[in-house]
Every structure is written in C-alpha cells, then in structure tokens.
A and B are shown apart, each in its own frame.
Chain A
C-alpha cells in the first residue's frame, strides 16, 4: 500500500523535472525589479517549510520529514541560484537576508498556531490550591495536587497536563481562581492515559 505522500511525490517529481530547467533559464529573463521579490518569497517559504519539518521530526514522522525536507531544499537552492545569477544587484542579497528573517518569524507564528503536543503546568498556590484545582477540573482538565512546604508554611503544588494549544486558557483559569498563584510551563514529550472530561 502506498502512502498518499509517496503518490503525491510521484506525481510532482516529473512535473518539477519539466518546470525546473525553465525556471532556471528564467532567472536571466526575470526583470531585475522583480527578482528580489521572488528571492524573498522563496526564502520565506524555505524557512516556513523548515519549521514544519522540525515539528514532524520531533514527533518521529519520517515520511513527512522526508517530503518536507525535499521541498525545502529545492526551494532553498532555487533562491540561492537566484541570488547568484545576479550578484551585482545588492537588492538580491538584501531580499535573501530579509526572506530568512521573515521566514523565521513566520515559522514562530506557525509553530504557535499549530502548537502540537502537551505541556505540564505546575502551580504553586499558597492558600487557594483547592479553588484552583476545582476551577481546572470544571473545565475538564485532570489535576493532581500535592501538599508541599514553602517559606510561609504549607502550600499546594498542582500538576496539570494540557494540550499546548490550551495553555493560555488554563493559565487564565488558574489566575482567575488565585491571582497570586505561581505558574510554570514545561514541555512534555509524551502522554499516555489519564482523565479528561
């Protein structure tokens, strides 16, 4: 059985083989005013793909990593070829560098938006631990509370695992129940089992 991505690659490869030589020859025909824009676009796309690739690499998805890596390297080498085809125009270098910077930022935004995986929220609440765990459970989250000792006596230490996408919402719930709560967020690689409403 073929993976859909493999079929996609099989479709795209011959098409790319036909287009690419034209694309390269095209470098000399592209008006000098447009070339920097094209380089900028390619470089931004390159880094955006790179972010997506890192996301699938972390989750160990090899096929997706291969496909994204292939696309990324193709885009990258086209951008470099564009710059090298007209080194005398400094706008080409600037576009290349600006594309890198912009792609980085787009990557961060994309990563935040997709936000895969889970986070561990650790809450230290000196007085209102009970209220905080109830607030979290009411929104359907699993909470484990531990009794711990701080500088001024007994405090509650709460552990709560949430999908990364919901970290912001969970934080609001915590601070709503105890504005003085101390909250840290940690990255978790894998979660198995547990309770969710």
Chain B
C-alpha cells in the first residue's frame, strides 16, 4: 500500500487502471462459479477480487487531486467489465435448451440434431396453420451457434428459441 502511494504520479493511474481491470475480470469468473455452486472457487476468487479492489480504491481516493486517477479507476472498471463479457463468451460454460417449432420439416431437423450427437425430443403440436413439430434439445452452449446454423439451413421457416438451463441429469449425451 505504502509502496503504491510512493509511485511516480504518472504511473499511479496506470496501476489503478490495471488493478481495476483485474478485479472486474476476476469478478466475472466468480459469478460464473457462484451460479454453478462452486463454493471453494467462489471464495478464493471473491477474496482476491475484493483485496485488489480495496487497493485500487484507496489509491484513487488518496490521490484525488489528480483527476486522471479517477478516470483510471472508472476506465478500469468499464474495461474490466467488457473483458469479463469476452471471457464469459469465450468460455461459454453450461448448457442451453434449444426449442424449435418447425411447421414442415420437424423430423429432418431432429435427425440433424441427432447426427450432431445431441438428443432431440419431438412433440406434435398444433399451430395457426395446422400441425407443427416442437423439438426440444439440450446442448452445450459452446455448440449452440453451430447447431443453430444447421437448423436454420434445414428449415428456414423454423421458430427458434434459446433458454439457459441449470445443470441437468442423465439423458442421452454425445454418441
């Protein structure tokens, strides 16, 4: 702490910025673990995140006469936030439920999902213009875009929704 305050004034904003980016990135990871119930990992990440944050805010608050410290603090928060979003997208952990309502080509869509190694459950439904197929499929978020594109290729008229799902049990996973 004391060493931080004795940094040259031009360096302090950079340090504050970097601290804030780090702590917000850790925070994103922490939230990912909290949602999945990883207690030990959340504790460790929470500990480091708040420790880094305390250092960042005290450095900014004890040097308020230089507005660049404030900008660095706010800019670090904003950048860390975006970095966190990128990390989240890259990791794409967890599962999503893909629900497809297909007026004409339900069985072809289900078949395509199955050949991609995922389970598909077909239901017969009734829509405005007669019979439709409702297809439910739980997939890993990482594979979502690929599968979505495949479905759209087979049936451009399909109605597609995506829901995030909590951990699931059993079922058929990957041949």
Contacts and interface: CB of A to CB of B under 8 A. Distances in A.
Instruction: Answer yes or no: are A and B bound together in one complex.
Output: yes
Given A77-B60, A144-B101, A195 B159 contact: yes
A81 B64 contact: yes
Interface string A72-102: 1110011011001000000000000000000
Contact of B82 (A65, A186, A188): A65
Most buried by B among A72, A187, A193, A194: A193
Contact of B67 (A16, A73, A137, A194): A16
Interface of A: 13, 16-17, 20-21, 24, 53, 57, 60, 62, 65-74, 77-78, 80-81, 84, 118, 120, 133, 137, 142-147, 159, 161, 186-195
Given A60-B89, A73-B77, A66 B82 contact: yes
Given A16-B71, A144-B101, A146-B124, 9 more contacts: A17-B67, A66-B82, A70-B74, A70-B77, A74-B70, A77-B60, A144-B132, A146-B123, A161-B159
Contact of B134 (A16, A146, A192): A146
B158 interface: yes
A190 B81 CA distance: 22
Contacts of A20: 67, 70
B14 interface: no
Contacts of B64: 24, 81
B81 A53 contact: yes
A72 B85 CA distance: 17
Query: Looking at chain A's contact residues, is the secondary structure mostly helix, strand, loop, or mixed?
Result: helix
A144 B134 CA distance: 8
B160 interface: yes
B57 A194 contact: no
A70 B71 CA distance: 8
Interface residues of B, number: 43
A3 B132 CA distance: 43
A120 B161 contact: yes
A21 B65 contact: yes
B15 interface: no
Nearest to B68: A17
A83 to B, nearest CB: 10
Contacts of A143: 127-128
Given A144-B101, A189-B164, A66 B60 contact: no
B46 interface: no
A72 B77 contact: yes
A144 B68 CA distance: 57
